Amino acid sequence: MPEFSFTLIAIILIATTTLLGLGIKILGGRGRSVSRSEIISLEKLKAEKNGFPIREFGKKATLLMFSTQYCGQCPGVRRNLAQIEYRKGGVSFIEADLTERLDLAAHFSISQTPTIFILNPKGEITYRISGVPKPNIIQQELEKLGA
C-alpha cells in the first residue's frame, strides 16, 4: 500500500509541475496594459547609454527593459529592442540592470527578466511584458502610441 501512494504522489507532482510549466510558457511574453500608469523617473532609474546618463524619453515611445547579468534570454531581446529603436524614429530603448538594483525590482514588482515596459512620451507606463515578448506584441503597442 505505501508504494502505491508514493507512486501516486509522484505522478500528481509531475503532472502539476508540467501543467504549471506549460501555463507559464503559454502566458509568458504576452504582456498586459497598465491601468495605473506610473511615470518613470530617469533620475532614479540611473540608466546610461554609451556611458552617458539618459535624460529624456523617446518622442513617440520608450522601450524600457529590465535585465540581469545572468539572464540567458536578455541578449536576444536586447538586440530586438535595439533594432526597433534603430528602425522606428521617435522610439528610444533603455536598459536597466537589476543585478545591483534590487530597489527597482521591488518597486516595480519584477520577478522575471527580461521585463519590458512600454512608455509613452511623458514616461508613463502603458504596457508591461514579463519574459520574452511574443512576436508583434511590441509593434502593436507602439502603433497605439503613434510610433
Same domain, 23 and 69: no
Same domain, 9 and 44: no
User: What pLDDT sits at residue 25?
Assistant: 57
- What tens-digit pLDDT sequence spans the chain (147 residues)? 456 677 777 777 787 777 666 555 555 555 656 666 788 889 888 888 888 889 999 999 999 999 999 999 999 999 999 999 999 889 999 999 999 899 999 999 998 999 999 999 999 999 999 999 987 899 999 998 887
Same domain, 44 and 23: no
Same domain, 6 and 24: yes
Smallest CA-to-CA distance from 58 within 129, 125, 119 is with 119
Asked if 66 and 113 count as a contact pair (C-beta separation under 8 A), the reply is yes
Same domain, 41 and 87: yes
What CATH number does residue 109 fall under?
Answer: 3.40.30.10
Same domain, 8 and 51: no
Same domain, 74 and 45: yes
Same domain, 80 and 104: yes
Cell, residue 105: 525590482
Total structural domains within the chain:
2
Q: Please name the residue ranges forming H helices in the chain.
A: 2-27, 42-45, 74-87, 102-107, 137-144
Same domain, 95 and 24: no
Same domain, 22 and 82: no
User: What pLDDT sits at residue 29?
Assistant: 54
Same domain, 2 and 72: no
* Number of CB atoms found within 10 A of residue 8's CB: 10
Asked if 27 and 58 count as a contact pair (C-beta separation under 8 A), the reply is no
The domain in which residue 105 lies consists of: 31-144
